[in-house]
Amino acid sequence: MSKTISINAGSSSLKWQLYLMPEEKVLAKGLLERIGLKDSISTVKFDGRSEKQVLDIEDHTQAVKILLDDLKRFNIIESYDEITGVGHRVVAGGEYFKDSALVDEEVIQKVEELSLLAPLHNPANAAGIRAFREILPDITSVVVFDTSFHTTMPEKAYRYPIPTKYYTENKVRKYGAHGTSHEYVAKDAAKVLGRPIEELKLITCHIGNGASITAVDKGVSVDTSMGFTPLGGVMMGTRTGDIDPAIIPYLMQYTDDFNTPEDISRVLNRESGLLGVSEKSSDMRDIHEAMRAGDAKAQLANDIFVDRIQKYIGQYLAVLNGADAIIFTAGIGENSVTIRELVINGISWFGCDVDPEKNVRGAEGVISNPDAKVKVLVIPTDEELVIARDVERFKNQ
Ligand code: ADP
C-alpha cells in the first residue's frame, strides 16, 4: 500500500491529487494558484472538507513544500515516507518521448530543452519536477507526456506541407496534446462496449476549455486535431483552432494589434474562440445562458463551435474509413447535453444518434440508441489517474 501524487504544474499554478495505490483511491487533492505573485492561494480538499489559505508562494519549490506540509497538517499523511511515487504531467515531449519516463537529470534537461515547443508549460513542468526531487529525492518519479500517445501518427498526418527544412531544422510538425485523456477514454470505451480495443475504430472528443479530437485505430492515435501547438484544431474557449494562416500577415499589415509574436500569440490563444466571437465569455455555460436569452453573438459562438467539431469528426470518419464509436469527454463533452445533441444530430447520416432519454445530465456510457451503427458514448476523463497508474507501472518494473 503506497501513496502516489500526480502533479500538473502550470506557469503560476500547481494542481495535485494524492492516491492510495494500487487501490486507485483519491485521498486528497488540491490546487496552488498565483505562484510567484502576492496573495497566492492553496486549496486542499479531502474527506468532504475544503481548506483554503492565502499566503505568498515564491516559486514551485515553495509550492511543493507547502503542499507536503499541508498533507501532514491535515493528517492526510503522518510522514513523508508514505509517499512512494510522484507523476508529473509534461505538455511537450516532442519526438523524443514516445512513452512516460523515469526522471533523472538527463530527462529533466530534455524537458527543459523541449520548452521551445511549449514555452509557457515545459519550464513550469520542469520546475515542479525539480522541486519534488529536491524535497523527496528517493521516491519513484515519472514524467507523463501529453504528446506521447500521438507519437504513433503516420508521417502523412504529422507533417505539414511546408518546406521540409522547417521540419528537419525547426521541428515543425504536428505533436497534438491531451494524449493521456484520449488514451484513457479510448480504453475505457472499449471496456464499456465489451470489445477488444484492437478491433475498434474510435473518435475521441476531448471538449473542455481546451479541446481536441483524435482518431484512434486499434488503440493507437493515427491523427489528432491539435497541431504543432494546442492552438490548432477545433475552436476552443479562447483559442481559434484552425484558421487560414494568411490572416496573420494581413492583420499585421492593416491593424495595430499584431506587432510582435507575443501580440499574435495572445490574440489567437487568449482572446479568440468562444470569447472572441461572443464578446462575452469563454465558458460554455455562459454562452448557453446568453444564447437562450436571445444573444445573437453567443448563438454564433455556439454554432461555430459545433460546426468545427462536426467537421473534425467527419475528417476522422474519413481517416479511419468509418468508426465504431464517438466518445465525448472533458468539461463540455461530459456535461453539455446540448453540445452532444447538436453535434451528433447534425451528422446522423453517418449512422450515429443520441437517445434523448440517455443523453441527460450526469450521463455516462452509451447514449446512442441500441441499433446505432456508430455508438456515442460519454466517458469522464481522468488524466490524474493515468499519471498515477504510470507511476505504478514504473515502480513495478
Ligand atoms: P480545461 O481545459 O480548463 O481542463 P474543462 O475540461 O474543465 O477545461 O472544461 C471547461 C468547460 O466545461 C467550460 O467551458 C465549462 O463551461 C464547461 N462546462 C462545465 N460544466 C458544464 C455544463 N454543465 N454545461 C455546459 N458546459 C459545461
Mean pLDDT within 118-131: 89
Of residues 228, 152, 216, the one with CA closest to residue 184: 216
Ligand 1 pocket: which of 335, 340, 361, 382 to mutate (most atoms within 8 A of CB): 335
Is the pLDDT at 226 greater than 80? The verdict is yes
Instruction: Please state which of the ranges 116-130, 170-184, 214-228 shows the lowest mean pLDDT.
Output: 116-130
Q: What is the per-residue pLDDT across 62-84, written as a single tens digit (0 to 9) for each? A: 999 999 999 999 999 999 999 99
Mean pLDDT within 290-311: 98
- Residue 210 CA: nearest ligand 1 atom is 2
Instruction: Please state which of the ranges 11-15, 206-210, 281-285 shows the lowest mean pLDDT.
Output: 11-15
Nearest CA to ligand 1 atom 27: 332
Q: How far is the CA of 334 from the centre of ligand 1 (A)?
A: 8
What's the distance, Cα to Cα, between the start and end of the chain in Å?
17
Q: How far is the CA of 67 from the centre of ligand 1 (A)?
A: 26
* pLDDT value at residue 12: 86
Marked catalytic residue, from 56, 81, 146, 390:
146
Q: What is the per-residue pLDDT across 139-183, written as a single tens digit (0 to 9) for each? A: 999 999 999 999 999 999 999 999 999 999 999 999 999 999 999
Check if the beta carbon of residue 268 is closer than 8 Å to that of residue 261.
Answer: no
Nearest CA to ligand 1 atom 23: 335
**Integer angstrom CA distances of residue 136 from 17, 88, 192, 299, 323:** 16, 14, 38, 50, 46
Residue 146 designated active-site: yes
Distance separating alpha carbons of residues 380 and 331, to the nearest angstrom:
9
Q: Which residues line ligand 1 (CB under 6 A)?
A: 208-210, 237, 283-285, 330-332, 335-336
Q: How far is the CA of 2 from the centre of ligand 1 (A)?
A: 32
Q: Cβ contacts of residue 138 below 8 Å, gap of 6+?
A: none
Q: How far is the CA of 357 from the centre of ligand 1 (A)?
A: 22
* pLDDT value at residue 9: 87
The pTM score is 0.93
Distance separating alpha carbons of residues 4 and 17, to the nearest angstrom:
8
Q: What is the per-residue pLDDT across 339-381, written as a single tens digit (0 to 9) for each? A: 999 999 999 999 999 999 999 999 999 999 999 999 999 999 9
What is the sign, positive or negative, of the torsion defined by CA atoms of 287, 292, 295, 300? positive
